């Protein structure tokens, strides 16, 4: 909404102008994306010339402090940046898709999932001459600030949102900004943006089904960030299996890093009685956990079995090789890019697209617990 002290400027009299009733700044129509403001709109609202707006926003001399402040106050209140004017007038595309990730850079740098996902995403976008702009920030609030700035500057043509959190504020904001976007996450429920999702519940059950069939009843789970929706779905799956089978599962939350994965492993292996199987939410922590078990003199899988939620070259090169959930992460990236291109081109109603559920690949790191035995066909517990 325009600043109250500028209401007498005459803006809003033309229904087809950016300041008119059908496109008032800050009040986009329900059936359209937010309008693109021009430098002429800022000039009119501030009561100055377009040249004065250019001088003010570019920090050049030639204006009084009071005039410069008046212009910048109007621009800030309307979330306008100078890049917006030229690009909007030309109707030009940026040929850029933005990704803002709020995770420690040190964890992203060693996690194969992100490298494979981004490779698949970029491979598909590159065929259309579209680049990706990746920004790593500290927290969600900074993400929101970046989205607002990119929208105001018309910086990107689309967005990919990762690490969907419980009660995430990003999808509604991005939808209100009118930027085409796709979320990697959710679980098929309706939301403001199109999503690509994986059935983490079913994937988790497949791991536990394997371990229970081997005879494991005391299992440690090294989880990722509990605020993420996919982590919550895994924890709910564990609760469902625990309730139906009576197994004992202890979950320890981490930031996905090898350091915290190793620390959680030591804590679980030092417990009495000891856990006979450990499940890790990513491959980096699983390999770190394998190293801790070796250091403590606990053979894998002789005394403890190890399973990873992610499969990669790390899990296949480890000794012993790790049982893991495998999926084509590169293809997950291309699927996400394909959906984003569709949203950018058609602006359709949001939908949820389910990616293939990861399948369990059994390798050398899982076996019946020491002194135990696999469950026979008649002994297999009922797992939902």
Based on the fold, state whether residues 130 and 220 are members of the same structural domain: no
Q: How many domains does the chain have?
A: 3
Residues 68, 132 within the same domain: no
Q: Is the pLDDT of residue 90 over 50?
A: no
- Residue 237 sits in the same domain as residue 307: yes
Residue that terminates a domain, selected from 38, 69, 90 = 90
- 253 and 107 within one domain: no
pLDDT mean over 87-109: 72
Mean pLDDT of the chain: 84
Determine the pLDDT at residue 110: 74
**Is the residue at 368 inside a domain?**
no
> pLDDT band at 376, cuts 50/70/90?
very low
Q: Provide the residue range defining the domain that includes 236.
A: 200-325
d(CA 146, CA 144): 5
Strands 359-361 and 323-326 turn out to be antiparallel
Q: What is the structure's pLDDT at 83?
A: 52
Q: Report cis status (omega within 30 of 0) of the bond before 338.
A: no
Q: Which residue has the tokens 């325009």?
A: 2
Nearest Cα neighbor of 172 from 197, 140, 131, 198 is: 140
Last residue within a domain, chosen from 90, 123, 145: 90
Please indicate, yes or no, if residue 369 is contained in any of the structural domains.
Answer: no
Mention every residue, 6+ apart, whose C-beta is less than 8 A from residue 303: 274, 276, 369, 370
Gap between the Cα atoms of 384 and 23, Å rounded: 52
User: Which of 140, 128, 70, 49 is CA-nearest to residue 100?
Assistant: 140
Q: Does a structural domain hold residue 13?
A: yes
Note whether residue 266 is domain-resident. Answer: yes
pLDDT at 138: 87
Summarised one tens digit per residue, pLDDT across range 262-321 is 999 999 999 999 999 999 999 999 999 999 999 999 999 999 999 999 999 999 999 999
Residue 382 lies in a domain: no
- Give the pLDDT score at 35: 60
- The larger pLDDT score, comparing residue 120 to residue 15, is at 120
The confidence band for 5, taking pLDDT boundaries of 50, 70 and 90, is very low
CATH number, residue 23? 1.10.260.40
Q: What is the CATH number of the domain that holds 180?
A: 3.40.50.2300
Q: Residue 373: inside a domain, yes or no?
A: no
Q: Is there a single domain that holds both residue 211 and residue 315?
A: yes
pLDDT tens figures, 205-261: 999 999 999 999 999 999 999 999 999 999 999 999 999 999 999 999 999 999 999
Residue 95: predicted pLDDT: 86
Of 65, 90, 115, which closes a domain? 90
287 and 180 inside one domain? no
Residue 370 in domain: no
Query: What pLDDT does 82 receive?
Result: 64
Together in a domain, 184 and 205: no
Q: Are residues 207 and 321 in the same domain?
A: yes
Please check whether residues 12 and 61 belong to one and the same domain: yes
For residues 219 and 320, state if they share a domain.
Answer: yes
CA distance 349 to 344: 12
Report the alpha-carbon distance of residue 187 to residue 31 in Å, rounded.
26
Residue 375 has pLDDT above 60, yes or no: no
**Highest mean pLDDT pick, 23-27, 182-186, 363-367:** 363-367
pLDDT digits (tens, 9 = 90+) for 57-84: 767 778 899 999 999 999 888 888 765 4
Query: What's the token pair of residue 313?
Result: 């070259």
**Whether 208 contacts 383, CB under 8 Å:** yes
Give a yes or no: residue 366 inside a domain: no
List CB contacts of 7: < 8 A, sequence separation 6 or more: none
pTM, full prediction: 0.73
**Quick one: 244 and 152 in the same domain?**
no
Query: For the segment 318-338, what is each residue's pLDDT rounded down to a tens digit?
Result: 999 999 999 999 999 999 999
* 338 and 241 both lie in a single domain: no
At 19-60, the pLDDT tens digits run 333 333 443 444 444 566 788 889 999 999 988 888 887 677
């Amino acid at each position: 909404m325009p600043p109250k002290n500028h209401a007498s400027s005459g803006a809003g009299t033309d229904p087809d102008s950016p300041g008119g009733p059908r496109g008032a700044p800050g009040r986009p129509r329900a059936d359209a994306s937010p309008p693109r403001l021009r430098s002429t709109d800022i000039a009119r609202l501030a009561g100055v010339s377009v040249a004065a707006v250019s001088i003010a926003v570019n920090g050049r001399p030639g204006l009084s402090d009071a005039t410069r402040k008046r212009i910048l106050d109007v621009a800030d209140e309307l979330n306008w940046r100078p890049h917006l004017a030229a690009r909007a007038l030309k109707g030009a595309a940026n040929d850029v898709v933005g990704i803002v990730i709020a995770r420690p850079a040190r964890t992203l740098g060693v996690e194969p999932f992100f490298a494979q996902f981004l490779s698949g995403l970029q491979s598909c976008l590159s065929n259309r001459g579209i680049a990706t702009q990746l920004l790593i920030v500290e927290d969600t609030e900074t993400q929101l600030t970046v989205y607002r700035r990119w929208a105001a500057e018309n910086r990107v043509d689309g967005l990919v949102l990762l690490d969907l959190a419980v009660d995430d504020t990003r999808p509604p904001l991005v939808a209100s900004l009118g930027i085409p976007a796709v979320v990697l996450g959710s679980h098929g429920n309706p939301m403001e943006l199109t999503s690509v999702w994986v059935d983490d519940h079913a994937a988790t059950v497949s791991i536990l089904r394997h371990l229970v069939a081997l005879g494991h009843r005391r299992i440690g789970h090294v989880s990722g960030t509990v605020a993420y929706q996919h982590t919550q779905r895994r924890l709910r799956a564990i609760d469902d299996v625990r309730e139906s089978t009576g197994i004992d599962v202890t979950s320890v939350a981490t930031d996905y890093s090898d350091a915290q994965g190793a620390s959680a492993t030591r804590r679980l292996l030092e417990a009495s009685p000891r856990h006979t199987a450990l499940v890790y939410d990513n491959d980096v922590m699983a390999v770190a956990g394998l190293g801790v078990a070796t250091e403590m003199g606990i053979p894998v899988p002789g005394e403890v079995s190890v399973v990873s939620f992610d499969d990669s070259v790390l899990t296949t090169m480890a000794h012993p090789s790790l049982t893991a959930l495998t999926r084509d992460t590169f293809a997950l990236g291309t699927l996400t890019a394909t959906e984003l291109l569709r949203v950018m081109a058609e602006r359709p109603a949001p939908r949820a697209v389910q990616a293939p559920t990861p399948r369990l690949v059994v390798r050398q790191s899982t076996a019946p617990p020491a002194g135990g035995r696999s469950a026979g066909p008649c002994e297999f517990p009922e797992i939902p």
